[in-house]
Amino acid sequence: MHKSHRALDVAVAKHAKDVGLPPGDRSVLDSLFEQAHRYVFEDNLSVREAGDMLGIPTQVLRQWFRAAGISTAGPAPLESMPKQKATRSIADFLRTRHGSSPISAIHELEQAGHIRARRWSDSRTGPAHQPTFTCAVQVTTAEGSDFSAEGMGTSLQSAKTHAAAHLIDTMIAN
């Protein structure tokens, strides 16, 4: 048996034990781990994307990879890595995401190579006891299209979230 297969068996067995599966009932976990491995290392998806597609929490997949001695960390910090080319449409990418904020979606789109440039700006108006924040976001897609959106709220965070949500809606519509 190849060393990586033994490491995979160890990782899957450890998780099966952690979640209380019987020792012989590992075929489902084996299949899930193999699919996750293929998504991450052959299809160039992030661990989060692979987990979302398979219904497995990101942290669990990271534990499986670590236990198998497989590194999911890149060779350099994200800021210095070249932008990768997007492998799926923006709409397909966003359809696989569940439960995270629109701001996170913008960051994930950038990490997945759908967005080349991202700029945020904000302003505050109104009295000190009742401010209104306006946030704008502008992006350039990998194809060179420019999109922008604006959001308002009673906090900077809510204005930024609204701007990100509007931007996502605009990008999906186009």
Q: What pLDDT does 21 receive?
A: 60
The conformation of residue 9, written as its DSSP 8-state character, comes to H
Whole-model pTM: value is 0.51
User: Dihedrals φ, ψ of 56, to 5°?
Assistant: -115, 130
CATH of 81-173, one of 1.10.10.10, 3.40.50.880, 3.30.160.20, 3.40.50.620: 3.30.160.20
Mean pLDDT score, 12-34: 66
Mean pLDDT score, 115-124: 89
User: Is 61 in contact with 47 (CB distance < 8 Å)?
Assistant: yes
User: Is 94 in contact with 165 (CB distance < 8 Å)?
Assistant: no
- Residue 153 bridge partners (DSSP): 133
The residue with greater pLDDT, 157 or 29, is 157
The mean pLDDT of the chain is 78
User: Is 102 in contact with 140 (CB distance < 8 Å)?
Assistant: no
Place of tokens 């401010």: 131
User: Is 137 in contact with 167 (CB distance < 8 Å)?
Assistant: yes
Tell me: pLDDT of 155 over 90: yes
pLDDT band at residue 61 using 50, 70 and 90 as cut-offs: confident
What is the tens place of the pLDDT at every residue in 64-100?
A: 888 777 877 654 334 434 445 555 677 777 777 666 7
Most confident of 29-33, 97-101, 121-125: 121-125
The residue with greater pLDDT, 5 or 166, is 166
- Return d(Cα 24, Cα 27) in angstroms, integer: 8
Mean pLDDT score, 25-33: 69
The residue with greater pLDDT, 81 or 137, is 137
Q: What pLDDT does 125 receive?
A: 94
- Return d(Cα 60, Cα 87) in angstroms, integer: 24
- In the chain, where are the structural domains located? 3-67, 81-173
- Across the chain, how many H-helices and E-strands are there? 7, 3
Q: What pLDDT does 82 receive?
A: 44
Could you write out the DSSP letters of every residue in 85-131? PP-S-HHHHHHT--S--HHHHHHHHHHTTSEEEEEEEEEEES-TTS-
